[in-house]
Amino acid sequence: MAEFRVARVKQGHTKIRNVPIAVTPEGFWCCPSPVVFQKTLKSQNLESKPRPSSPPSKTSVQKKPNTLNERKPTPNSSRSKLLPDDQRSVTSDANGNNALATERPLKQNGENLRHKVAIEFGEHGTSDLKVVLCGKPGFSVKMSVHKSVLVENSTFFADKLCQRQSPISCLEVGDCDDVESYVETVGLMYCKEMKHRLIKQSVSRVLRILKVAELIGFQRCMHSCLEYLEAVPWVGDEEEEKVLSSVLRLKQNNLGVTPLLKRVSSDVSSPLNDTVTHVIELVLKSNEERGRREMKSLVLKLLRENNTHLDSSGTAEMVNENIYSFCRSCMNSLLMLFRQAAEPGFVDKSLDSKGPVMRQIALQADNLLWLLEILIDRQAAEEFAHIWGSQKELATIHAKLPTVSRHLVSCITARLFVGIGRGEMLPSKDTRQLLLQTWLQPLIDDYCWLQHSCRSFDRKLVEEGIGRTILTLPLEDQQNILLSWLGSFLKAGDNCPNLQRAFEVWWRRTFIKSNVELQGSLLNSDG
């Protein structure tokens, strides 16, 4: 509100136009947007051009609609409806004399006149003050209001009206950014149950009313808007940001915004890592397949979004330690289940007896695969690769179990190879050697089953990861591993990983490049 002054609206200084005005179902005025004003002004100008010399047409006089007045009810008060242009009359005299709205032809003197749209609100018979809102160039709004109502509800109007000794009949508010919200806020001064008037309004609309209420010092309206915002749902992140930015601005005024802010912040100081750990633990202990699948995907996505925040808050290391604690627990449980499934006579047991063990093996393998994904996203999976490569007993028992029971364990190995091949983790040379020595052969044994039973298994991606992992080792280790693989590939064919690209790179490194280096050394010695 950049400008506030006492003014007198004289007849002839303002171009008066009939503009459709509606009343909301809650009972207070809904002023049209500036676009509606401009369109109405443009359409009326076009209508007046063909007959510039015709006398002004008479408009039927009709009772002026009155703003909802619950404190001072009048017998003639009635709710206004949306009226067409030819049925609405407005007032152009600031002293309250009724006059018909007339159209005057534009002066053809080459000057660009500033046209305003004047609209009168309130009960004309009882009002004792005119408030003129000057919005964007081209329109203004005139309200017929009551001094006592404005002084009682608004500290802004109380200061302006009480500081003058002579009676004021008209006030003008210049540079009003949001005329519509201003009008609605003034209309709320006449409501006893203001909170009920805000029901069914949009959040953005209430925020605009709150802004105007803050500007004019309308405390009762501000409290009602805050109660509304505290109770209504906020839809989307954008709307939440708008509410918080508006409310935080009022925090310093001690208006009781704490209940509203508790929706996004808590007074209980619980460590962030404890909450993350508890969520992960709940997912790991769940046995419901659909719930686990959906929450694993959601938690993984949320952790990816919060990795930067966790790192900046200093809790990243503690979260990683808790995740590794879950990893060791799952590996220990998996080893115990493997031992139980490898006992003599276990295969001959009924499905009811061995079924729970098989389901637990699949559950623990799935948990480990999910935890590995979390560690890879957090760039902390090197230790997992070392721990997994050290599970020699688990790999030994792996060969004794049926493929249908053990193949999900090989998915963990495949994911590690893919991570190393992509550069998502950087384990040491010893860890890479240990991982290949311990788990490559079990992966080859389960390869056929993985291709036909696992929907998420990507053969090309896994083969590329295995080959790249092998090629990171010294040349002698590459040779030992690839020659061992060649024997399996010549026997199993498509049921074995196809590492021909890695084999070709090793071949060139061993024979072609070594011959070039030998010839170069001989030339240097001759020289």
CB atoms within 10 A of CB 1: 14
CA atoms within a 13 Å half-sphere pointing along the CA-CB vector of 118: 26
**DSSP helix/strand/coil, 329:** helix
Give the residue ranges of the chain where pLDDT is below 70: 1-125, 137-139, 164-166, 251-256, 266-271, 308-314, 514-527
What's the pLDDT score for residue 514? Answer: 62
Structure tokens at 520: 């170069």
For residues 362 and 356, give the distance between their C-alpha atoms in angstroms, rounded to a whole number: 10
**What is this structure's pTM?**
0.66
Residue 474, judged by CB atoms within 10 A of its CB (0-12, 13-18, 19+), counts as exposed
The rounded distance, in Å, linking the Cα atoms of 486 and 402 is 25
Give residue 120's pLDDT.
54
Q: Which residues contact 460 (CB under 8 A, 6 or more apart)?
A: none
Identify the pLDDT of residue 490. Answer: 94
Give me the pLDDT at residue 251, please: 67
Residue 172 has φ and ψ, to the nearest 5°, of -120, 130
Neighbouring-strand partners of residue 3: 174
Residue type for position 337 = L
Conformation bin of residue 217: beta by default, left when phi > 0, alpha when psi is -120 to 50: left
Cα distances (Å, whole numbers) of residue 94 to 6, 99, 174: 12, 11, 17
pLDDT at 43: 56
- Give the whole-angstrom CA distance, residue 395 versus residue 442: 7
pLDDT value at position 304? Answer: 87
